[in-house]
Amino acid sequence: MFSNKDIEQFANLETPFYYYDLNLLQRTLSDCSEAAKVYNFHVHYAMKANFNTKVLQKIKLTGFGADCVSGGEVSKAIEIGFDKKQVVFAGVGKSDKEINNALDQDIFCFNVESVQELAVINELAAVKGKIARVAIRINPNVDAHTHHNITTGLDENKFGVNSWDLPACAETLKVSEHIEFIGIHFHIGSQITNLDVYKNLCVRVNEFALWFEERGFTVKLLNVGGGLGIDYHHPEQQIPDFAGYFKIFSDFLEVKPGQEVHFELGRALVGQCASLISKVLYVKNGKKKNFVVLDAGMTELMRPALYQAYHKIENLTRGNKVALKYDIVGPICESTDCFGKEVEQPVTFRGDLYAIRSAGAYGEVMASKYNLRDEIRFVYSEDI
């Protein structure tokens, strides 16, 4: 991924910073767009994965919509220029202020996550004399077989309307004069690499679509969410199998004439396009452990501390010759500030450049100023 010229340029820049390969991002977006067009599927980008302005501009120009989970994301999507008719607002805890802002913007759809939320949106829309389009997010109790902390589709999770609440949901829809029901929505988790999971989801989507139709509702929209994972261990295999992913839904989803199928992809689109570039501050060799102390920490990339997530770590200065095992850690005053334990690396020295790969999703967006750290910096491939 990195040429000698890249590494020479990195050495002259203040670290740490996120390096965005915009060419790879464009190839990934184009690949996804072409694969979706085969089935006339609609893709909304999950903005929570990365809301870097240049990244969003590329995604918008590809023609994708925006899947937002806060009022701030809705505003950012519209500021960037996403078509309001392609902006969807999900989230288990939408505030009145956020709902009112989305109503004012006349967004495409609210993905509603509780019966109570339905009533609130109806009341707020009534005050404005508007009709709010909604899809009901249903918790299908499908196991995504991913990390426990990023599973969202089980009965134990806070997301969506549970099956036993659907009768109340249907009754509320029938009496809500300022609500237009357009379909159903699902999202079962993130970083899903076993595509068979999506077959199980399709079965549940088909069942719930029939449930609503039998009660007199027209289901115009089937939103199956996202969650497609990337290969963190082999970031060189950079573009996910979008064709295989979409084919699963084409084969197993029962789509009626006139129905639209929507997806909300995030990590799969942006995960591989960025790396966190850092410099070695100190090397501490001991009897039991060797430590490489980087100038990047959990304030720049939270995932390893939060999820014990794996990222491939590379010494750009010394190449691939493995010699020692190091714990790769940051400067933050927390023991969890660790990117990897017992990572095989070349013999490392102060000043060496390191790359933490596959950091384009949930990297920059989760950065913090804990320990009064500097604001995160970023560099784009077009600037190198």
Residue 319 and residue 228 share a domain: no
Q: Which of 227, 244, 270 is the last residue of a domain?
A: 270
Cα–Cα dist 50/102, whole Å = 20
pLDDT for position 263: 98
Q: What is the pLDDT of residues 263-300, one digit of tens each?
A: 999 999 999 999 999 999 999 988 889 999 999 999 99
Residue 13 and residue 123 share a domain: no
Q: What is the pLDDT of residues 147-168, one digit of tens each?
A: 444 344 344 555 689 889 999 9
- The position carrying tokens 């009145």 is 96
Residue 112 and residue 29 share a domain: yes
Inform me whether the pLDDT recorded for 144 exceeds 60. Answer: no
Number of structural domains the chain divides into: 2
Residue 145 and residue 289 share a domain: no
**Bridge partners for 356 per DSSP:** 276, 313
Region of 189 please: left (phi>0), alpha (psi -120 to 50) or beta. left
pLDDT for position 158: 54
Residue 97: φ, ψ to 5°: -60, -45
Inform me whether the pLDDT recorded for 228 exceeds 80. Answer: yes
Residue 264 and residue 345 share a domain: no
Residue 346 and residue 310 share a domain: yes
Q: What is the pLDDT of residues 6-37, one digit of tens each?
A: 999 999 999 999 999 999 999 999 999 999 99
Residue 253 and residue 277 share a domain: no
Residue 123 and residue 79 share a domain: yes
Q: Where in the sequence is the domain holding 299, given as residue range(s)?
A: 4-17+273-383
Cα–Cα dist 321/182, whole Å = 57
Q: Which contiguous run of DSSP H or E holds residue 307?
A: helix 303-307
Where does the chain show beta strands of DSSP type E? 17-20, 42-46, 65-68, 87-89, 109-112, 132-137, 179-185, 221-223, 260-265, 274-285, 290-294, 313-315, 324-329, 338-345, 353-356, 377-380
Q: What is the pLDDT of residues 181-212, one digit of tens each?
A: 999 999 988 899 999 999 999 999 999 999 99
- In terms of Cα–Cα distance, which of 359, 273, 347, 264 is closest to 309? 359
Residue 324 and residue 244 share a domain: no
Inform me whether the pLDDT recorded for 140 exceeds 90. Answer: no
Q: What CATH number is given to the structural domain containing 323? A: 2.40.37.10
**Angle between the 242-252 and 196-214 helix axes, to the nearest 10 degrees?**
40
Residue 320 and residue 279 share a domain: yes
Average pLDDT along the chain:
94
Residue 72 and residue 33 share a domain: yes
Backbone CA torsion sign across 220, 222, 223, 228: negative
Inform me whether the pLDDT recorded for 239 exceeds 90. Answer: yes
End-to-end CA distance of the chain: 13
Query: What distance separates the 2 farthest-apart alpha carbons in the chain?
Result: 71
The 3-state DSSP class for residue 176 equals coil
- As a whole number, mean pLDDT of residues 126-142 equals 93
The 3-state DSSP class for residue 229 equals coil
The pLDDT > 70 percentage for the chain reads 95
Residue 70, amino acid: S
Q: Which of 219, 236, 270 is the last residue of a domain?
A: 270
Inform me whether the pLDDT recorded for 126 exceeds 60. Answer: yes
Buried b (16+ CB within 10 A) or exposed e, 166-181: beebbebbeebebbeb
Residue 328 and residue 195 share a domain: no
Inform me whether the pLDDT recorded for 143 exceeds 60. Answer: no
Q: What CATH number is given to the structural domain containing 205? A: 3.20.20.10
Q: Which of 228, 250, 270 is the last residue of a domain?
A: 270
